[in-house]
Structure 1
Amino acid sequence: MDASPPAAHPRTVAATGPALTDDDRAAWERDGFLVIHDAVSEAACRELMARAEEIVAEAAEDPVSVFSTHEQTRTSDEWFLSSGSAVRCFFEEEAFDADGELAVPLERAINKIGHAQHDLDDTYDRFARAEVFARTVEALGPEQPLLLQSMHIFKQPRIGGEVTCHQDATFLPTDPHSVMGLWVALEDATIGNGCLWAEPGGHRGPLRRVFSRAGATDADGTRFTDLDPTPLPPPGPDGPLVPLEVPAGTLVVLHGLLPHWSGPNRSDRSRQAYSLHLIDATAHYPEDAWLQRPPELPLRGFT
């Protein structure tokens, strides 16, 4: 285990420069995250957000499925559990009034789009397989990366929901651990509109729990299984988490065991982001993992 103290601030590298250096890789090993500024162009961010608008406009006829990371309110319905091979919209918890009617316009009601648009939509396919991502993963991540899931996260103004402190390996476990997150700020992310917070060095801790299917069919729902009693760090500035305030176009790479969190967005500005999760083809992906793909849509790498 690396006993060196975590960095006080995220290590940043230039996306347009050469391959990551030994110092960059050492910072990744120490902190469990890496911030890469100017990784994605403004035009590419705008293109992805425009495509998301088109998808959301078609969501009026979709079933109402609310996304939440709060265990007591998580919706593990068939719409969610079958989304590993689909492009689906999920609503914000606070988008509805007491009568169950939308309290905001549809375009302001969607929490996220997920989870296979990187394989099913041309715009997301091009974005997810950008050279900068492949180069970064080659330097830091899985030896044989497979693009498992992606999410377009809206963090809507005033009602953008909190994402409770968690480890990505809880939801996308492999044996051995291999999941890596690529998180791209499509708009400026600040403390005010719900930026990411991460625990430097927290990836050296244990995996606390696993989220899995409770049975053989989507209708059987899901369950959490506790693995280790070590508590996750408390959210906000009073604990060990540090805010990752970044401008649009920034890439944040996240280790699968790294505790991270984002608070609710009570500002009048959205905080759109694109998140892509990868696993190693050499690792075992469990059959009871919540996200599954049918044989006709196999996982792919960057090509």
Structure 2
Amino acid sequence: MNGLSGDGNIARQLEMKQPQVVQSMYIFKQPNIGDEVCEHVDSTYLLMEPTNKLLGVWIAIDEATLENGCLWFIPGSHKNNELNYRFIRSNSTDPNEPLMIYIGEKPVYDAEKYIPVPVPRGSLVLINGLVVHKSEKNLSNLSRHAYTFHIADKYESVWSPLNWPQETPTYKFPDLYE
């Protein structure tokens, strides 16, 4: 999977100037027990200024259907999303306090506006960092695995120091063009 998320072709086609992979994960949505992913906006967790510099890349390892928990989107929701709800580092040194907290008011989205996006195995879905999306539980006898990663275009932008993933002196986000 490292080679897949390290390929800069998508970023080049989208004219990103300094793309870096800031987060990746393999999603195991197992048959009959794979849980839902609640509605969210990726930039809630991975904020940049300006906010239009984050792109999610979601790859269907298995076919994604209505029954096994395909993605659902609110079309156009990225166009006027003010992003007042955030998941940030708490900076607490108290071991009894959480390391991460939500701040702001959680938005309420109109359930009627969602559309399902079933896709065949091997499909690649690009997700604007401000678009509202979710997935339902896997109610089928088939798995629905996916590999996803997020690309941040660091050109003329600022990565929030309150985001949960951060570069360190010994770890830098992989640059797709180097």
TM-score (norm. length: structure 2):
0.88
Structure 2 residue matching 1:159: 3-state secondary structure: coil
Q: Choose from 209, 212, 219 the match for 2:88.
A: 212
Give the superposition deviation at 1:218.
Answer: 9.7
Give the superposition deviation at 1:141.
Answer: 5.8
Tell me, yes or no, if the aligned pair for 2:42 and 2:129 is still in contact at 8 Å: yes
Residue 103 of structure 2 aligns to which amino acid in structure 1? T
Alignment size in residue pairs: 172
Tell me, yes or no, if the aligned pair for 1:202 and 1:257 is still in contact at 8 Å: yes
Tell me, yes or no, if the aligned pair for 1:166 and 1:232 is still in contact at 8 Å: no
Structure 1 residue matching 2:12: 3-state secondary structure: helix
Give the superposition deviation at 1:276.
Answer: 0.7
Q: Choose from 181, 187, 207 the match for 2:62.
A: 187
- 2:58 corresponds to 1:158: no
Q: 2:59 and 2:72 mapped to 1: Cα distance? A: 14
| Bigger RCO of structures 1 and 2 (CA < 8 A, at least 6 apart) | 2
Structure 2 residue matching 1:181: 3-state secondary structure: strand
Change (3 A) 1:161 1:230: closer
Match of 2:128 in 1: 255
- 1:131-146 equivalent positions in 2, closer than 5 A: 134-140=8-14, 142-146=16-20
Give the superposition deviation at 1:230.
Answer: 5.1
Match of 2:2 in 1: 125
Q: Could you say which structure has the higher strand fraction? A: 2
TM-score (norm. length: structure 1):
0.53
- 2:99 corresponds to 1:221: yes
Gap runs ≥5 in structure 1? 1-123
Coordinate RMSD, CA, aligned: 1.9
CA offset digits 1:120-139 (Å, max 9, x no partner)? xxxx2212123xxx222222
Q: Choose from 157, 162, 174 the match for 1:300.
A: 174
Q: Choose from 272, 287, 301 the match for 2:145.
A: 272
- 1:100-119 equivalent positions in 2, closer than 5 A: none
Q: Which has the larger radius of gyration?
A: 1
Give the superposition deviation at 1:172.
Answer: 0.3
Gap runs ≥5 in structure 2? none
Q: 1:184 and 1:260 mapped to 2: Cα distance? A: 15
Give the superposition deviation at 1:294.
Answer: 2.1
